[in-house]
Structure 1
């Protein structure tokens, strides 16, 4: 079966939806980067039927899983998944300028190379409409907040799998965002020591 399952999606989707409900626009198209199994994409598309949901992932297996979940989705607002590598914004298949009204990226930044974070903001600076939200979810390190033992252990386990992975300092993410014309306008404490961060393109 092409369908993959990520248990965390069942645990965090309701809390994420609560934030998305007052962050996403009233209409338009949402780009999801690093959509993984596709379970989130189907759930969010169902929760926000007024929005076109466009899932992407760099993994062919993930895209196949998203497509399999999409086959069972009854709505008409979930687009076919596309291969997209955040670290290579020049190759994005959705490179049309200002094509999307929001971007959602869940649990990518700590499980990818730093170039993926840079590419995420670089690409979104091009494809998002003015003032569109770029919404991130995951664990982060904060200079003025004590890191929990579980997040420190998680960080070490990621680095053992790949030295280029690991929890990122929030001020480093903010700096990359600023370099590409975004400002952080929201920070939400989420279950299991995660954060949701909302960035918007600054007025030019």
Structure 2
């Protein structure tokens, strides 16, 4: 499953850079700092270029941050950014595919973070993410955090999100903004319950799910 959506900018040799990272890192970090355990073990699913992983690990030095991506190119980029940063709490990237939860190893994590994946991947990736999170997160209290644009039945779709949705579907018919209620329903199948919805800049959301029985 390919989820990488980055472009090459100034970066270490072998690395990719995504312009979206500069725009959304600080708003995402504000939410993470408010809800992550002080010394948590965090898995990032679909880390893409790896810039978020470096920024989050640097800002949260008492956590252990493990990035992952199914793409060889993405993992090479993550490794390049990691080598440049030299952070002791940033782990080697895992070859983890959200769409294949049976391939997830027995991970010891308290939190899973997934930024900008579910709309740039087939629905099977969301199904796999929920299955994998339900399997490896601790019960009770394990935390899954999603970031990205969503469709919501009770909120008019912003014109920019509508145009983005059309653009995604033109690139791949299996991509596109997901209905929030459908994502919530899929999560509940694996004992993950939506506990917080946070409005973010540029018509994005952060959705926080807790593992409950």
TM-score scaled to structure 2, two decimals? 0.92
CA deviations over 1:46-102 (Å, ceiling 9, x no partner): 01010000000011000000000110123200000111110000012xx216x1010
SS at match of 1:197: strand
Query: For residue 142 of structure 1, what is the aligned residue in structure 2?
Result: 152
Query: Shift of residue 126 of structure 1?
Result: 1.2
SS at match of 1:83: coil
Query: Shift of residue 2 of structure 1?
Result: 1.1
Write the distance in 2 (CA, Å) between the matches of 1:83 and 1:106: 17
Query: For residue 168 of structure 2, what is the aligned residue in structure 1?
Result: 158
Query: For residue 101 of structure 1, what is the aligned residue in structure 2?
Result: 110
Query: For residue 188 of structure 1, what is the aligned residue in structure 2?
Result: 198
Q: Which runs of 5+ in 1 are unaligned?
A: none
Write the distance in 1 (CA, Å) between the matches of 2:87 and 2:98: 27
Query: Shift of residue 149 of structure 1?
Result: 0.7
Runs of 4 or more consecutive aligned structure 1 residues displaced over 4 Å after TM superposition: none
Query: Shift of residue 145 of structure 1?
Result: 0.2
Query: For residue 111 of structure 1, what is the aligned residue in structure 2?
Result: 120
Alignment counterpart, residue 58 of structure 1, candidates 57, 70, 75? 70
Write the distance in 2 (CA, Å) between the matches of 1:55 and 1:65: 11
SS at match of 1:57: coil
Write the distance in 2 (CA, Å) between the matches of 1:197 and 1:51: 21
Indicate whether 1:178 and 2:188 are aligned: yes
CA deviations over 1:109-128 (Å, ceiling 9, x no partner): 00000010010010011111
Write the distance in 2 (CA, Å) between the matches of 1:125 and 1:26: 22
Write the distance in 2 (CA, Å) between the matches of 1:128 and 1:149: 36
Query: Shift of residue 27 of structure 1?
Result: 1.4
Query: For residue 135 of structure 2, what is the aligned residue in structure 1?
Result: 126
Instruction: Give the number of equivalent residue pairs.
Output: 200
Write the distance in 2 (CA, Å) between the matches of 1:141 and 1:4: 29
Q: Which runs of 5+ in 2 are unaligned?
A: 1-12
SS at match of 1:146: coil
CA deviations over 1:180-204 (Å, ceiling 9, x no partner): 11100011100000000000101x2
Write the distance in 1 (CA, Å) between the matches of 2:119 and 2:14: 25
Cα RMSD after superposing both structures: 0.8
Greater displacement, 44-53 / 69-78: 69-78
Write the distance in 2 (CA, Å) between the matches of 1:183 and 1:75: 33
Counting strand residues as a fraction of each chain, which structure ranks higher?
1
